[in-house]
Chain A
Amino acid sequence: MERGTETAAALTVCPLPGAPGLKATGEVSLGTYGVWEAALDRAVREGADVCCGGYVLELSALTFVDVGGAGALAAAARRMPAGRRIVLHRPPPALCRVLEMFWPDHPAIEVSKS
């Protein structure tokens, strides 16, 4: 149980080896929006050229994404060219819950739980 001893939220992002995509580690909240949005901008930029398979965000090491972070993801996905999409690999369940609540059936977001 953490009781205020933990330091502020952290988020790091690095390229995925061997596939077009990024891996995010940490959490997405007020203190890490900057890093998250930079990663999403990169995903939109690089993902524009990725057709089959989509641009992967490997999120299994994300512990939490708040509603603002989910909103940034939905906004980024809207900027993807038609037919291109962002594939979320093993996103935290809270992110899926928020996406289903506010952006169900987003045409440019695919969730892969495997």
Chain B
Amino acid sequence: MSAADPFVHPALFYRGESEYLAGTLSFVRAGLAAGEPVAVAVPGENLDLIRDGLGDEAAAVRLLDMREAGRNPGRIIPGVLRAFADAQPADRRVRIIGEPIWAGRSSTEYPACAQHEALINAAFRGRPVTILCPYDVDRLDERVLADAHATHPTVIPTGSTEALDSPAYAPDEVVARYNVPLPAAPSGVPPFAFTADALSPARHHAVAEGQRLGLTGVRLDDLALVTAELTTNSVVHGGGSGTLRVWAEGGYVVCEVRDSGRLTDPLAGRRPVPRDRRGGRGLLLVNLVSDLVRMHTGDEGTAVRAYLSA
């Protein structure tokens, strides 16, 4: 990485509340003092700590609960980080605290979390933006902390305020390492094969299954949209056909589409699309409305799973 890259992306390793506040409040205050736009997107309980710590200054900061805004890691770059950064004056450095990984993240979510942290580097390369990512050393496991050294060019060790270069920095390797085959769908879930002529029946199948599994209203509409975008992608970019499966898993309805294509752009679905550009929003929509998106792509094809809570 060039030392001249204006994008700054440190991991802040913290132990306990006081270290958390020492690291985050000084970061926010330095930004406010410099007239920089500042956003904080962290899990709710940490958001409360920062809000209380900032007192009156909190009014000048965009505060977001990452458990909601960033529930789906694939949504964070377009829906949280760039949504804020792109709306600021171009001549200002933008500061964001983003805490996408907390102790309650499931093993199903985690690969998407690690890939998200790695992809932030590509998404913001060349931009005058600083994104500080806190990691709770007491509550996150070793693997997560080791990955944070690979997804962040610099790290701030516990009890320190100084960012050091991370010798383990290798974001592309993290993206590749977590590009793992998705486990097989539960047995008994019937595959629905589709081609261009069966996009509509495929969507009807997904909606019928979603309804049977308890989705209603907006979430059922979201399932229809997600299914339409994933199956249309298979027809247009993924070899012309694919297989759809819908099932219930851990409180979610899962919509899975497999096809023979290969996704070559790791940032697909993570870039906001300018209003006046016409297409290119399919995967972005899937990321924005889903609670989790998991993906595997390779020579053998591409599988995408979108999780929707009722």
Contacts and interface: CB of A to CB of B under 8 A. Distances in A.
Interface of A: 1-9, 27, 29-31, 64, 66-68, 71-72, 74-75, 78, 92-94, 97-98, 101-103
Nearest to A94: B221
Nearest to A30: B232
Classify the secondary structure of B's interface with A.
Answer: helix
B276 A29 contact: no
A8 B197 contact: yes
Given A29-B228, A31-B199, A67-B225, A93 B218 contact: yes
B196 A30 contact: yes
Given A94-B221, A98-B225, 7 more contacts: A4-B198, A8-B197, A67-B281, A71-B281, A72-B278, A101-B288, A102-B273
B282 A68 contact: yes
Given A4-B192, A29-B200, A102-B275, A94 B208 contact: no
Contacts of B197: 7-8, 31
A64 B205 contact: no
A31 B288 contact: no
Contacts of A93: 218, 221
Nearest to A64: B224
Q: Which 5 A-B pairs have the closest CB atoms?
A: A1-B208, A2-B204, A9-B200, A94-B221, A66-B228
Given A66-B228, A97-B225, A31 B201 contact: no
Contacts of B199: 8-9, 29-31
A3 B218 contact: no
Interface of B: 192-193, 196-205, 208, 218, 221-222, 224-225, 228-229, 232, 235-236, 273, 275-276, 278-279, 281-282, 285, 288-289
A26 B214 CA distance: 26
A68 B200 contact: no
Contact of A3 (B200, B201, B235): B201
Most A Cβ at <10 Å: residue of B200, B221, B224: B200
Nearest to A1: B208
A98 B221 CA distance: 10
A50 to B, nearest CB: 23
A30 to B, nearest CB: 5
A101 to B, nearest CB: 6
Contacts of A75: 276, 278
A58 to B, nearest CB: 20
B279 A71 contact: yes
14 contacts: A4-B193, A4-B201, A29-B199, A29-B203, A64-B200, A67-B229, A71-B278, A74-B278, A75-B276, A93-B218, A97-B222, A101-B285, A101-B288, A101-B289
Given A29-B200, A29-B228, A98-B285, A3 B222 contact: no
Contacts of A8: 196-200
A92 B224 CA distance: 12
Contacts of B208: 1-3
Contacts of A98: 225, 285
B281 A102 contact: yes
B281 A94 contact: no
Contacts of B198: 4, 8
B291 to A, nearest CB: 16
A10 to B, nearest CB: 8
Contacts of B205: 1-4
B278 A94 contact: no
A67 B275 contact: no
A110 B20 CA distance: 47
